[in-house]
Structure 1
Amino acid sequence: MGYRYNRLWKILIDKEMNKVELRDAAGITSATLAKLGKNQNVSMEVLGRICKVLECDIGDIVEYLNDTKEEHLFE
């Protein structure tokens, strides 16, 4: 199970906003921004702040990735 934030980076490009501007506007740390860049887990609070700044929904910035091993457990 994992998450990918490629949608977030696309929205930033579309809005002509860079990562530092997002960090400052959302009030998140550089460490949290680095976690997003590495597709690591971040808190829902952080994702909510990002959504507020970008005026979008969480599904617009995060993609859930299913682990294929888990899928086989339920077949």
Structure 2
Amino acid sequence: MAVSYKKLFHLMIDKGITNAELMEKGGFSANIITRLKRDHYVALDSIEKICYALDCGVDDILEFIPEEKGH
């Protein structure tokens, strides 16, 4: 299964939080933001920091996308 972080970026817009503010609140590097934007794997501890910084749950920032059969 693939992961999409589109919900995270919509939540950040709704809360008026920039990438820089999220990095500062969460205590992680710009590399994590880049990985999120590309829907790449992000370690669970980073997901936890993001949820804590945004006061939200995991299901508020990511969703699993089933991969198409035969690919």
Structure of greater Rg: 1
2 CA distance for matches of 1:8 and 1:27? 16
Paired residue total: 70
2 CA distance for matches of 1:69 and 1:41? 21
What are the Cα deviations for residues 10-34 of structure 1, in whole angstroms up to 9, with x where unaligned?
Answer: 1101111111110111011111110
TM-score (norm 1): 0.88
Structure 1 stretches lacking a partner, 5+ long: 71-75
Question: Which residue does the alignment assign to 2:19?
Answer: 19
Question: Which residue does the alignment assign to 1:57?
Answer: 57
TM-score (norm 2): 0.92
2 CA distance for matches of 1:59 and 1:68? 22
What are the Cα deviations for residues 18-56 of structure 1, in whole angstroms up to 9, with x where unaligned?
Answer: 111101110111111100010101001000010011111
The SS at the match of 1:69 is coil
Identical columns (%): 27
Q: What root-mean-square deviation, in Å, do the aligned CA atoms of Structure 1 and Structure 2 show?
A: 1.1
2 CA distance for matches of 1:41 and 1:69? 21
Runs (4+) of structure 1 moved beyond 3 Å? none
